[in-house]
Chain A
């Protein structure tokens, strides 16, 4: 296996080559945002979420930390913090997995097949178990309200611009952004 530092580069590279929009912070590889689209054939279809990815020092031995930045109504996602309760990205993570797996498989599966038996958002779980239609309705309302493309374009922490930036612009804007930004 490659050295851990190279694994970061390769994983990030593969993610971008799979056409994910990756927004890096000052060209750093520790922490970045990835745009994630709700899977077709799920009530989350049409929603766009900005996912915060943090690669710990021990990555890939330790799992990446994944969180929804804009709100989502889902039994296994904490409404307040956006934390995800999913075994493959927590307890059963393996260094064989990479970021493409997370965005291509794990997260779509989570949205397609929520697991109300181990809820983090108990309310969503209860609703899903009792009234699937009402639950899907609620999901869509949340998407409409919090997960439109413009909601991910205007990142609360890093961006002040309202426009959605393209991938190239994301990457390119880094230097200028630092230069133009007053010290926090």
Chain B
């Protein structure tokens, strides 16, 4: 009973309290209780996966339970876990296959039969797991071919359950690594489903088809008539599923018909969710495959008017961007824009029609930008129309702002300006501040027509932004100021850095003094002092140098690049852009039109319904039947590039163009808005600053590492002063020595001794570990646990007698890590029989137990082809844990400030009965800092890099150890608890 309640809705905070109880129940003698316990754990896994991670082994036990029910229950957990990370459970494929074999073979007790089908739920669960495991993995897939075949064969009774199994089978067959025989059988099954008179099966058949169609579009051809029938099915759900299917097979040839069908459905449906979904799909298709301009604009008009204000804001934005940026050639662009303007012009003519706000916004933007294409006389007319819109009540103030912006853009082109004046009069007294501001801006601009024309050039919605951004016209001013002795402008972060370096210089002096005057008589003190003063002196030097070089560079940059940049270049360049007529496109279009015309004429002549359907079918599957049998998507792409956004070409501009409509609005107000420009200026400089930073990062890196190595030393010494038997210093020395010797021995073997970084001697580091090698090179890696990050070093040793060229080491970005490349990651040459190091500093972004960092190295041997070698390294949470050195009082304060806590009782083994020894073990294994030991209680502290502190509280009573964790990070305690438990069990 209690277990049942536990697995209902259950608060996350209570899990640790009941978890041990449920774990006990896993060993209960009654099956039903074991089963319920497993399901309760499944529920826990869903709520908080990290809290149950230490009992994964018990799940395995449950999988092997002698009772089938318990085993079936554990499958739920596995399904969830495999969904998240299929590679970790590949080894279980064999057992899953055997289980399924037994089930299909009827080896289970009769109790589990359902309508004489053996354990259907179990089968479906297993099939799903297999599908996930076998995805894109030939080896694992091969294991399951037999059993899939078997289940396909067995499930041939005419009952819903068997259909369910069949459906799942088909799904699995198509998701694993393909095998032709199985695919054939699965295709047959789908056929059965689709043709079935039962409506539920038909639905499932369509669903399966939708899934399959991506891999094998020919299947759709076989069932085209059925699909057409389904399209006119009275049940909207079936219709919708069919549309979904069509959406998947859309290509450049059948787009018009499919979108027409979709729009029809769109007009009928009322539910908001469906509309949003469908509108998005239509817009996507239209953008991808549109056959011609007129059609594209019309479709988008339909989308806007139906989708209205519920649709995703990306759609109108994308549409506008497409219009503004254009495609590969100019004439096409002009045509498209012209058509858009014309259609909107006529749309606005229609009286008494209410369009959604979004649509009006789009219209006003387009008219404002491109109505010059209509000819000389029209700006007035357009303004009149827009004015009429403005005065109507049904429009929101946001839309009104859009419209005023459009009017502003049009005013310089218009000859007479009565309406504009009237508009200004009306809106300068408007209650809406935004509108009022726009009106005033318009007013002032209107007073100076010439200036206005220069400011709002025709058809410069994207281009003029580039000019603004570079701000080259300010250079002369800046240069003048500089020559008069003004300080060069430095970007924010540059200034900060300088400040920092100065601070460092200052702060080290007193430190050095303090410990020399304290008269500390430890064995390390002479070395410490000499080292400390050495470094501080050194850092002063470099710090000064750095600031000097910075200033110089800053000035040089200002003079150099921008001074030469001609202001007009970007403008003229765009206008003189060549306008070649792309013949291909036109031919394409013609073909399309011919096809559609043919279709239409045929439709007219043959009025019989059946024929019509067939025709529809032929037009729908046109792309599939003729040429493309295999790779539908790929082909479609090559055909229809023209309506794709030119994302690649304009990548550099995209940052500015995405905000195109905002910018056009603000660009005319920019003259009065000096601060705005200054922002730009700042950005611009910042970019350059970045480059500089890279340049002198070599210097600063040296400085950083040195100054940072000093910090711990200082800390260490102060630590020693506080508590004489400092455990930390001890520990540091202990762990520090052996690895170095082993590493050294290893290093001798592959002549790496010299290559170990200087830093290695300052910090703890792991053993050298070979990660990959071939006949020419061997790559080994080791971790350096620096105080502020984990430094991964990859040493590449060139074994061959010739030198290697353009060696390049790249690390794939990992989900949970922030990886920063240290300088020197791309080396032009690695000499023969020498070693080079690549360094990466790694930070953990969110806590977890273990992660994988993979990458590859590229190199060239003597001008031949380049070779690529892949490797991966495991990182664990422990690599990112550092001791947090705080006093007992600080511990108390911090303890109260943290919200997330986790408690757990752990049994202690006899060997670690005494608290100090336990703590020592933890300290060594996990790099925790022992703050204090008071009686039978111990306080420890650590932090997860970069700065997530975690406090631990230990209390011994009897042979139990009560662990209590508190942290500012919600998940960290769970992970640490897991690690602690591992350590305690291990020792």
Partners in one complex: no
